[in-house]
């Protein structure tokens, strides 16, 4: 089981911010696989999982964005009713709290991944190692 990486970008909640970030990724031919926005009074954090994580992180940093690279776990779900439930049931039984989550749909109506950031990635992975779960391998998304 390997970790995947999420890129987080700090942004003020103003028109054009998401555009600026995605423009950089577009020009570098980087594909966004999953993304989420959390916003609270005036500012927010945009999170991406992309095919070339390290490259995207370095690029955004170089362009002056406030950015961080965070570890995450990708867990396979069936893209059908109950798919998310089956996965989070196991997470909660292990006492793993999700700090942020997004979804990567690998094959529509078949296979998707729940991408979660948790408090302690290594510990969570250890706790989940014996469970009947399939994890996203970073090589699959490159």
Partner 1 sequence: MTGAERGDILQNSMTYGLFTGAFVMHYGAEKVGILVIPAGPGNTERQINLMRDFGTTMLHITPSYALYVASVMQDKGINPRKDLKLKRAYLGAEPYSEETRRKIEDMLGIDIYNCYGLTEMNGPGVGFECKYKQGLHIWEDNFLMEVVNPETGEPVPEGEIGELVLTTLNREAMPLIRYRTRDLTRIIAEPCKCGRTHRRITRILGRSDDMFIVKGVNIFPQQIEQVLMSIKGVAQNYQIVLDSYDDMTVKVEIDKEIFDGKIDRLIKMKEEIIEKIRSATLVKPKVELLEPGTLPVSEGKAKRVIDNRTI
Residues that bind partner 1 (CB under 8 A): 6, 8, 10-12, 38, 40, 42-45, 47, 64-70, 99-100, 117
- Let me know if 121 is exposed, middle or buried by CB neighbors in 10 A (0-12, 13-18, 19+): middle
Nearer to partner 1 by C-beta: 36 or 133? 36
Residues 74 and 134 sit within 8 Å (Cβ to Cβ): no
Nearer to partner 1 by C-beta: 118 or 141? 118
- Work out how close the CB of 111 gets to partner 1 at its nearest, in angstroms, rounded to a whole number: 26
Beta bridge partners of 8: 47, 68
Nearer to partner 1 by C-beta: 69 or 133? 69
Residues 34 and 112 sit within 8 Å (Cβ to Cβ): no
- Work out how close the CB of 130 gets to partner 1 at its nearest, in angstroms, rounded to a whole number: 29
Tallying the residues shown for the chain, one arrives at 142
- Work out how close the CB of 107 gets to partner 1 at its nearest, in angstroms, rounded to a whole number: 28
């Amino acid at each position: 089981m390997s970790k995947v990486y999420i890129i987080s970008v700090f942004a003020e909640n103003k028109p054009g911010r998401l555009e600026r970030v995605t423009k950089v990724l577009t020009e570098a031919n980087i594909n966004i696989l999953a993304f989420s926005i959390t916003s609270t009074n005036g500012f927010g954090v945009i999170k991406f999982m992309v095919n070339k994580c390290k490259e995207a992180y370095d690029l955004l940093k170089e362009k002056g964005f406030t950015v961080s690279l965070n570890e995450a776990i990708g867990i396979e779900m069936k893209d059908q009713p109950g798919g998310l439930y089956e996965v989070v049931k196991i997470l909660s039984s292990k006492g793993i709290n999700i700090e942020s989550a997004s979804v990567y749909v690998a094959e529509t109506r078949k296979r998707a991944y729940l991408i979660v950031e948790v408090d302690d990635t290594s510990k969570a992975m250890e706790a989940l190692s014996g469970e009947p779960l399939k994890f996203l391998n970073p090589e699959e998304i490159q």
